[in-house]
Each structure stands twice: as structure tokens, then as C-alpha cells.
Structure 1
Amino acid sequence: MPVISRLLSIPLRIAEIAFGAVVAGIIGHYLASYDSIEPWPEARWIYTEVIAGLSILLGLIWLIPFSSGFFSWPLDILISFAWFAAFGILVDAIKHLPCGSIWSWHFRGSSVCGRWKAAEAFSFLSAIVWLVSALVGIWFTFRVRDSGAGSTRRRWGRSRGGAAAPAATA
């Protein structure tokens, strides 16, 4: 297992766990504090909470240093897309609040705007980190395949040297 891949993978997985925990805490606070809201915003927040929980769980599992964690890049891409969807949900929710631009991520002002902006920012950052983690996994996967490390398979009709066996002469 290449050292560079592992050195990149561990901080990315830790960031995935941390960003998911921040979003889960903020959205969980809002879910716990509102009893009588209409079901549609609550469903969007539950979706974001589920994505944050999955991110924390998968980040913890894939933090264990095995090379098989690099082959999970299709799920990394899927989780990244799910985080981009959660970011869109949060952007749609915050546009109804008087908090300024959605890309202005300073967390000053009212606590409501600050929390929403933090959830929005960390969901976007989580999507980016999951995407970068997928790219590291793709790089590792194709590097291992190209180097042939650990592979003892031979192509059909070829000897170990790569050339066809010499024909017997009579």
C-alpha cells in the first residue's frame, strides 16, 4: 500500500467524521427544538441528519488502515453527491431567512443565521472532502492495478515471461 495514499486518506477520513458530526449536531438541535413544524422541512432535515450519520459511520469504518478501504471509492462518490444534495436542501431553507448571501459564511449575527450558515458550510465542505477521498481511492486503485502488485494471474496463452512458449521442433 503506497504511503502517500495512506497519508492522504487518514486526514480526509477524520475530516469526513468531524464535518458530519458538526452538521449532525446543528441539524439535530433544530430537530429536537421544533415540535410543531410542517412535515416538509422536517423531512429535509431528517435526510441531512441521515447523511451525516452515514458519513460518521462510514468514515469510522474506513478509517481502519486496510487497503480495501481504498476500493470503496464508488461509495465515496455516492456519499459526496448525497452531501451536495444536503447542501442544496440547506441553501433552500436558508434563503427564506434574513441571513444574507448563501456564500457569505461568516458566522456572526444572530445565532439562528450563524448555525444555519455553519451547517451549510460544513455540508459543502463535507461533500468536497468525500469527493477528494474518492479521487484518492481511484488513484490508488488504478496505481495498484497498473503496477500488478500482488497479482499472480497470467493472461491466456502466455508464459510467465510474457512471450508464447517456444514450439517444439521435430
Structure 2
Amino acid sequence: MTTSKRLALAIVFGMLIFVTKTVLPAPINKIVIVIHAFLLALGALLLGKIGATYVSVVGGILTAVWNVALAPVSFLFAVVYGLLVDGFNIIFKVNPSNRKIDAWRLIVTMTLSTALVGLMSYFMTLWMGLILRNFTMEIGILLIGFFSGAVAGYIAAIIWNKYLKNFKI
């Protein structure tokens, strides 16, 4: 895959993440993290070893420009999310070069990544003093993270195995 095509795909996926973060109102934009997870999973599969990180850097830069007050934190968590996806892909041996991927491995990768980044951002928000600690919210974030990651991993695996495994960019 040529560098320009990789960059274009990362930009498109990153822009889609940015749009869902900024256009939707506050509680809904947190719930649609399943879209972010799905795009990061496909980015990792299509772009290779650090594909999710490429996508998350683009989304993080756009989000940081949009929300200047929290720009460093927004960018940091976007990049951490991409690095977690890529790191867990390596740990769990989600290898798209084999053409067909194991759906369970991708589901575990996306579930752990999404739940971890959700909890990390929640605790950072607590540390910054922007919200008060709420056990119900912690459980909700964990459950939404697990559910969103699992759904995104499952859908990405199905789309990859059915339609994209032989796709050449």
C-alpha cells in the first residue's frame, strides 16, 4: 500500500471519529464510542502494525483543535487509545497478513482497549477535578467500554473476513 493511500485512509477514519465526537451532543457522543472502536479496528487491520495509532492521531489532532481547553488531554487519550489497540493486536496476535483473522482475538483486543481508555479518561477527569467520583458512573463506563469494544471488534472481524481480507489499497 502506498504511503499516500495509507495517509488518506487514516485521515478519512480520523475525520469520522472527529465528526462523531463534535457533532453529537455530550452524553450521546460518549455512547457512540463503538464507532470509534470500529474505525480503529479497521484502521489497524487495513494500515498494518500502527494503523490504529495513525487513525487516532488524526482524530486527536482534529479534536484538540476543536476543543482547545482540553486539547492536550484530548490528544493524549486519542493516541493512547490507538496505541492500546495496536499493542493488544500484537499481544493477542491479530495478524491481518494471514488474510482471515480470528474474531475472538479482535473482540478481546477492542474490548480491553475501549474499557481501559474509558476508565483512564474518567479517572483523569476526576484527578483534574472536573467531576466528582461516582461508583455508578464507573461501572457504567466499564460496561459501555466492554460492550462497545466487543461489538466493534465483532463487526470489524466480520467485515474484514467477508469483504476486506483480499482488499488491496
The bucket for the TM-score relative to the shorter chain is: 0.3 to 0.5
Taking CA–CA contacts closer than 8 Å with sequence separation of 6 or more, which of the two structures ends up with the larger relative contact order?
A: 1
- TM superposition score normalised by structure 1: 0.33
- TM superposition score normalised by structure 2: 0.34
> Higher helix fraction: Structure 1 or Structure 2?
2
Please identify the structure whose Cα radius of gyration is greater.
Answer: 1
